[in-house]
Amino acid sequence: MKFSVCFVCCGLGYDIDVGILINTSIGIEAGWYHLPTVYYNSGKRQYSGYTVHASAVYSVIPPFCLRCYSQISAGLAATKNKLDKTSSGDYRFTHWGPIGSMSFGYEYDSGLRTSIKYTFIAGNRSNRNDHFPTPHSHIISLGIGYHFAM
């Protein structure tokens, strides 16, 4: 389990991830990102929202540091957005898209872990009448977590 504080474009958010390694390299994880508010159009409109995701994870322990680990993951994310101040009031919608991340971390004797992670959540640039665009998210997070051994 890991809790992170993340920096997205121009704001702060947070996320919680829970995962399990099936063997020493392959695993799955699920998580939730609270995305920061994004302003556009001269500050007149704003997006706010959150993302839930499920991903497959590949983990590697580099030979030069046996307490270090690096991970890559890819999966599917659902981003729930709210667009404020449209001509007809607030507008809420969900966008499904891919998510990918890379992380590097260090595990201490007690099972405590620290990490830095880059995550990309694909948005949607379409601006059809029935769907507003969803911003892409480039997320850099600093995390602290705990590795439960079974």
pLDDT of residue 86: 56
pLDDT of residue 71: 92
Tokens representing 93?
A: 């919608």
Strands 45-60 and 11-21, by their bridges, are: unpaired
Q: What is the mean pLDDT of residues 136-145?
A: 84
Note every long-range contact of 15-20, with CB atoms under 8 Å and residues 24 or more positions apart, other chains counting. Answer: 15/139, 15/141, 17/143, 17/145, 19/57
From residue 2, alpha-carbon distances to 87, 91, 106 in Å are: 40, 32, 13
- The whole-angstrom separation of Cα 82 and Cα 61 is 40
pLDDT tens column, 13-35: 778 888 888 888 899 999 888 87
b/e per residue 90-102 (b: at least 16 CB within 10 A): eeeeebebebebe
pLDDT tens column, 57-66: 998 888 888 8
pLDDT of residue 103: 93
CA-angle at 31, arms to 29 and 36, nearest 5°: 145
Q: How many CB atoms lie within 10 A of CB 142?
A: 12
Contact 113, 145 (CB under 8 A): yes
For the question of whether the overall pTM of this predicted structure is more than 0.75, the answer is: yes
pLDDT of residue 87: 57
Q: Does the pLDDT at position 56 exceed 60?
A: yes
pLDDT of residue 122: 84
pLDDT of residue 39: 66
pLDDT tens column, 71-122: 999 999 988 877 766 556 666 777 888 999 999 999 888 888 899 989 888 8
